[in-house]
Structures are given as C-alpha cells and as structure tokens.
Amino acid sequence: MSKIAVIGAGSWGTAFAGLLAGEGKSVALWDRNPELIDAINTSHVNPRYLTDVRLPAAVKAVGDLSDAVVGADIVAMVVPSQAVRGVMEALAPSLRPGAIVVSLAKGLECGTLKRMTEIIRETAPAVTAAALSGPNHAEEVSHGIPSATVVASPDESAAKLLQEEFMTAAFRVYRNRDLVGVELAGATKNVIALAAGISDGLGFGDNAKASLITRGLAEMTRLGKVMGADPGTFAGLAGMGDLVATCTSRHSRNRAVGERLARGLTADEAQAELGMVAEGVKTAESVRDLALRERIEMPLSLSVYDVIYRGKDPRECVQDLMSRGPVEES
C-alpha cells in the first residue's frame, strides 16, 4: 500500500486526507500551524476548516515537512498556489526519488506564470509530477457526497497509480493525458468564478450567469489552445465541470469574493471577511499577463482584473460586456 502525505490542512487538504484515510490508508497531513496539528491529533477534527467533519484516526497531523514526506510514495500538494514553490523547496531534499508529487493547488505562479507541476519539476527533478483537478468542493467530498475528478500526468503509469489510490465509491477519478489543459482549466476557472460572483452581487440572475459561464469557458479554452492544451479537456470535468461547480455553488470562495467585490469591497477586504484565500484574485493577474503576452481575447478575465487591480466599477464592466462583441455567435 502506498504511503501518502497531504501537504496543507486547509479545507481541501483536510477533506482529501480524510477521503484517503477513510479507505484504510495511512495519511500524514502536514500543516505549519502547531495548534491545528495538536487539535487534529487529539480531537480528530480540524478546528478551522470543515469543523463538522470527524477525520479517521489514520490521518496523522505532522508539523515537520521532512517527517511528513520522508518515504512517501505520493505527496499531494494542497497549499495555496503562491506557496507551492517555497514548500517544495523545503521538502524536496526529503523526497525519495520516484515519488509522485500531485498538485491539488489551482493557480499559476505570479510573475513566472508557471503551472504548479512546472514548479514541482523545477524544485524536485527526480520526482514524477501530476495534477488533480475537478468539481470537488471540499464540503461535499468530506461528507461522502458523490463527486468526480481528473488526474493528469505525463507519466501514464503514475496517473494509473493515482487513479487506483484515490478512487472510492463516492469519488470517481478519471485519467486525462493533457496535463497542461487540466492545470490551466483549474486555474483560469477561478477568475470566471469571480465574475460570476460579481454578477450575483449586482443582482443579476441565472440567465446572465449561465451566459457568463458559457463565454468564460470559451475564453479559457482559447487560452488553453494557445498554450498547447487539448480543447476537449476544457469541455470535460476539469474544465466545464469545475467551472460550473465553482460559479454556481454556495461553497465557492471565489464566487463569494466576487459578490463582495460587487458590494464595493476590495479583494483583500473580501478575503479577510471570508477568512480564506480565493485563488482567482492572484490568478486574475497571471491570466491577464498571459492574455497580453499571447494576444488572446479574454474580455471577462480582463474585466475581473480591472475590477480588482484598477478599481473599475463592476457595473461599468457589465455595461461594456453587454454592449460589445459579435452579433453572430462564434
């Protein structure tokens, strides 16, 4: 049986560790917060995230990165994407060669515009990198409500191993060879989710949001194609599936931040109010940089950037978006 480490005890890391431990696997769950570690090991509840979920005793919280990953066959990275490089640099010396590091983080590194598996490969060249992404709100996965996801790796046997190790009766895992597409979809969809939240916050309805989701997926796919991804990935669970879940669910923190942007809060104020990081805020900047660099038309994502980083009035963005664009659908 594989030895598994989950790095990051936020809501998704906690749910994922619980999912695997529920199948009888031993899971080391690392976090930097010592109080959280003590609480998990004594009460089997994460005191900060998913506080209504009792974790199996097979989840052992660990405060030392090296202890968490030493000898691990599979390391799941579930820290915020801007923290992945630092955490990888710290744990890389303790990884055994041939280990699989699978990114569950959904973002792009600011400045470098790199995907998470690019960072993993740079910081730990001897491991196999992979990504897992899909419509997986932690609140539902942690309660055993049926969900599906996608794993991708350039190494097909690694993808198959992850599929076997992660699949449960209520958590269905599909393989996809398109690592670039799976990662880009997971990152870029958070920016569209901010737009969906803005739409909700402005009092618009399901018609407008469904239109926005549709046109959002079109621009995500345009970016993906230019970056070498398979458009089919964007039509699948890691693309459309995750986008729809994130834009429509009350569990989505990016959507929730968007609502608050529409109310006039800044992105920092909105995240502080929610007590969570919304990955889309940083990703809006990276997506804008990519769109400009690659000359890709991404009006929704650029509007979100303007709202967050240039203080543009969301109402004005909607006005622009409603009055622009092709009169023939394309």
Binding stretches for a second copy (CB under 8 A) = 134-137, 139-141, 145-148, 150, 163, 169-170, 172, 174-177, 203-211, 213-214, 217-218, 232-233, 235-238, 240-242, 244-245, 248-251, 318, 322, 326-330
31 or 201: whose CB is closer to a second copy?
Answer: 201
For the four alpha carbons of 34, 162, 169 and 71, in that order, the dihedral sign comes to: negative
Is position 3 annotated as part of the catalytic site? Answer: no
What are 155-162's contacts with CB under 8 Å, separation 24+?
155/128, 155/130, 158/100, 158/128, 158/130, 159/130, 161/2, 161/74, 161/100, 162/74, 162/100, 162/102, 162/130, 162/132
174 or 289: whose CB is closer to a second copy?
Answer: 174
Q: Least CB distance from residue 260 to a second copy, whole Å?
A: 20
- Answer yes or no: are the C-beta atoms of 108 and 281 closer than 8 Å: no
Given the residues 25, 114, 189, 282, select the one marked as catalytic.
Answer: 189
Q: Least CB distance from residue 19 to a second copy, whole Å?
A: 12
Q: Least CB distance from residue 283 to a second copy, whole Å?
A: 19
The Cα–Cα gap between 49 and 170 comes to 21
**86: phi then psi, degrees, rounded to nearest 5:** -60, -45
13 or 236: whose CB is closer to a second copy?
Answer: 236
238 or 284: whose CB is closer to a second copy?
Answer: 238
9 or 245: whose CB is closer to a second copy?
Answer: 245
Q: Least CB distance from residue 22 to a second copy, whole Å?
A: 17
The Cα–Cα gap between 34 and 300 comes to 41
| H or E element that contains 142 | none
Q: Return the amino acid letter for 198.
A: I
Tokens for 15? 């749910």
> Other C-beta atoms within 10 Å of 234: how many?
26
Q: Least CB distance from residue 300 to a second copy, whole Å?
A: 13
Residues with catalytic annotation?
189
